[in-house]
Amino acid sequence: MADGALDGLVIADFSRVLAGPLATQLLGDLGAEVIKIESPAGDDTRRWRPPEHGGVSTYYLGVNRNKKSVVFDLHSARDRQLARELAARADVVVENFRPGTLQRFGLDYASVSAMNPRSVYASISGYGEGAGARLPGYDLTVQAASGLMSLTGPPDGEAFRTGVSVFDVTTGLHATIGILAALRHRDRTGAGQHVRVNLLGTALAVMSNHALAAVVGDAPSRMGNAHPSLFPYEPFRAADGEIVVVAANDKQFGALARVLEHPEWAEDDRFSSPRARNIHRDILRPLLTRALGSRRVQEWFELLTAAGIPCAPINSIEAGIAFAEQLGLEPVVELDAHGAAVPGIRNPIGMTATPPRYDLPPPVLDEHGEHVRDWLLQAGSASP
C-alpha cells in the first residue's frame, strides 16, 4: 500500500452527522489517522435508517470509513481529561458543536491552542459564531434561509429542497480545504490557527453566480429545470423517457440543429446566439421537443454524443453508478469489516504518488476505545 499524503497526522474528530465526518473521512482517505470521538449514545446518524446495510445506517457508513471510534463522556472528569489529552496531541481538531459548547469542557480553540500552539482547529457551525450562534444548523433550514429553495422547484409550484444535503457536503469540502491550507501555513511557520466554516456562508458561496446576481439587483427566480442564462439547457421528452440536452454555445447549437435535421435553425436570427435563444426559448422549446420526441433516449444519447453535444439520460442512482462503471471509474470500493464486505463510494480524488486509501471500515461504536485510551495514557507515542 502506498503512503498517504497525510501520513503521520493525527485528527481528533469531535464532529458528527455529515459536514464534519465527511471532512475527516476525506483526510483519513488521504492517510491521516482519524480518531472519532463519540458520546455514549454515538453519532446520531448511526440510528438514521432506513436505508441500512447489515443493520447499520448507510448515512453513517457513507462518511465514517478510515476512522477509529472511542467513546468519551465529556460529563465525566476522567473522560474529559482524556479528550483534552487527545486534543493536545492531535495535529488537527475538528468539531461541529453549537458555538460555545466546548468551552465549558476545556476543548474550545483557546484551550486547545494553549495546550498545543501548533494545533489546527476547525469549527463547523450552521450560522457562524456571532448573532447566529444560537441557531441550530441543519442542511434543510439553510437551504430555506439562504434562498436556494426559492430557486428550486417548478415556477408556479412549491419550493423544493435538493435531493441531497448539498450544503452539508460542500461545507465539509470547504472545511477540508481550510484545514489543508492551515497545515501548509503551519509547515512554514510552526503555528496553528482556527479554521471556521459555516453552512450559511457556504450556501451563499456555492450559489455563486445566482448570489452575485442578487447582490447586483438581478436575482433569478424559480424556473424548474430551466437555466436563467442558457437555452437549451434542460430535460426534453424523448420517445421513451427524458434526456438532458445542453447547447451552451453557437457551435453546440449548430451541431444540435444538424443532428435534429433542422440546420436552418442555426441561421435563424431568433436562435443564432445564446442571448437570442434565451429570449426566444418559448418559440424554440416546442421545436426541439417535437424533434426529440421521434427517437428513444439511448438513440439520442449516442447520436448527440457522437456530434459533441453534451447530453445525458435522467438515470436512477443505480444507473448512474452503472454508468460510472461502464466508463471505468470504479465508483464502488469494498472494505473488510471482520470478514464481511462493507461497500463504499470511491474518493473521487486521483493522485499518482499518494492515492486515497481504504484501510478501515466505518467503526463500531467504541471499537478502538481500549486501544486509544491506552495510547493516551502512554507518553511519547506519536500516533495511536
CA distance linking residue 269 with residue 306, whole number of Å: 27
Mean pLDDT of 86-100: 96
Contact 149, 222 (CB under 8 A): no
Q: Is residue 25 exposed (0-12), middle (13-18) or buried (19+ Cβ within 10 Å)?
A: buried
* Helix/strand/coil for 15: coil
Residue 47 shares a structural domain with residue 188: yes
Average pLDDT over residues 67-72: 98
Cα separation, 19 vs 199, whole angstroms: 9
Beta pairing partners, 233: 246
Q: Which of 313, 347, 365 represents a domain boundary (last residue)? A: 313
Q: Which residue did the predictor score with more confidence, 83 or 338?
A: 83
Q: Are residues 308 and 341 in the same domain?
A: no
**Per-residue pLDDT tens for 30-66?**
999 999 999 999 999 999 999 999 899 999 999 999 9
Q: What is residue 380's predicted lDDT score, i.e. its pLDDT?
A: 60
Amino acid at 134: R
Cα dihedral 260, 266, 267, 269 sign: positive
Q: Examine the domain organization and report whether 14 and 77 are in the same domain.
A: yes
What would the grid cell of residue 356 be?
486515497
CA 316 – CA 37 distance, rounded (Å): 35
Residue with cell 442542511: 139
The answer for residues whose C-beta is within 8 angstroms of residue 297's C-beta and 6 or more apart is: 238, 239, 240, 241, 242, 243, 313
Report the chain's mean pLDDT, rounded to a whole number. Answer: 95
**Quick one: 267 and 342 in the same domain?**
no
d(CA 305, CA 311): 7
Q: How much of the chain exceeds pLDDT 70, in percent?
A: 98
CA distance 354 to 374: 30
267-273 mean pLDDT: 97
Per-residue confidence (pLDDT) for residue 220, from 0 to 100: 84
> Can you read off the three cell numbers belonging to residue 145?
434561509
DSSP class of residue 51? Answer: S
Predicted pLDDT at 64:
97
Q: Contacts by 281-288 with C-beta closer than 8 Å and gap 24+?
A: 281/226, 281/231, 281/232, 284/231, 284/232, 285/231, 285/232, 287/262, 288/232, 288/236, 288/245, 288/260
Would the pTM of this model clear 0.75, i.e. be above it? yes
pLDDT for the residue numbered 200: 98
Specify which residues 243 forms β-bridges with: 236, 313
Q: Is residue 23 part of a domain?
A: yes
Q: Is residue 154 part of a domain?
A: yes
On the question of pLDDT at 69 being above 60, the answer is yes
168 is catalytic: yes
Q: What is the Cα–Cα distance from 14 to 98, expressed in whole angstroms?
A: 12
Same domain membership, residue 150 and residue 49: yes
Q: Are residues 41 and 166 in the same domain?
A: yes
Average pLDDT of the segment spanning 120-148: 96
pLDDT of 381 over the 80 cut: no
Is position 301 within any domain? yes
> What angle, rounded to 10 degrees, do the helices at 369-377 and 77-89 form?
70
CATH classification at residue 67: 3.40.50.10540
Is residue 343 a contact partner of residue 333, using CB atoms and an 8 Å limit? Answer: yes
Q: Please say which residue of 313, 345, 361 terminates a domain.
A: 313
Both 159 and 296 in one domain: the answer is: no
Please state the rounded mean pLDDT for residues 3-31: 97
Sequence-separated (6 or more) residues with CB below 8 Å from residue 380: none
Q: What is the CATH number of the domain that holds 255?
A: 3.30.1540.10
Whether residue 308 contacts residue 247, with contact meaning beta carbons closer than 8 Å, is answered with no
Q: 312, 242 in Cβ contact below 8 A?
A: no
State the angle between helix axes of 139-146 and 166-189 in degrees (0 to 180), rounded to the nearest 10: 100
Whether 293 and 360 map to the same domain: the answer is no
What is the number of domains present in the chain? 2
- Of 3, 168, 187, 240, which one is the catalytic site residue? 168
Q: Could you tell me if residue 327 is inside a domain? A: no
Residue 282, amino acid: D
* pLDDT score of 337: 82
pLDDT of 339 reads: 79
Q: Residue 384 has what pLDDT? A: 80
pLDDT at 87 over 70: yes
3 within a domain of the structure (yes/no):
no
**Domain assignment of residue 34, given as a range:** 10-209+335-377
Predicted pLDDT of residue 159: 93
Q: In this structure, are 174 and 261 located in the same domain?
A: no
**Whether residue 278 sits in one domain with residue 156:** no
Report d(CA 352, CA 374) in Å as an integer: 36
Please tell me the predicted confidence (pLDDT) of residue 2: 64
pLDDT digits (tens, 9 = 90+) for 209-227: 999 999 999 888 899 999 9
Rounded alpha-carbon distances, angstroms, from residue 173 to 18, 33, 180, 197, 353: 11, 18, 11, 10, 22
Q: pLDDT, tens digit, for every residue of 141-187?
A: 999 999 999 999 999 989 999 999 999 999 999 999 999 999 999 99
Residues 45 and 105 in one domain: yes
Cβ neighbors of 145 (< 8 A, separation 6 or more) are 200
Mean pLDDT of 221-234: 93
Q: Is the dihedral of CA 162, 165, 171, 173 positive or negative?
A: negative
C-alpha 335/C-alpha 337 separation (Å) is 6
Say if 320 falls within a structural domain. Answer: no
Distance CA 35, CA 6 (A): 14
In a shared domain, residues 81 and 132: yes
What does the pLDDT look like over 238-260, one tens digit per residue? 999 999 999 999 999 999 999 99
* Alpha-carbon span 35 to 64, nearest angstrom: 10
Confidence bin at 1 (pLDDT 50/70/90) = low
Reported confidence tier of residue 322, pLDDT bands at 50, 70, 90: very high
Chain length of the chain:
384
The answer to whether residue 215 is domain-embedded is no
Q: Is residue 217 part of a domain?
A: no
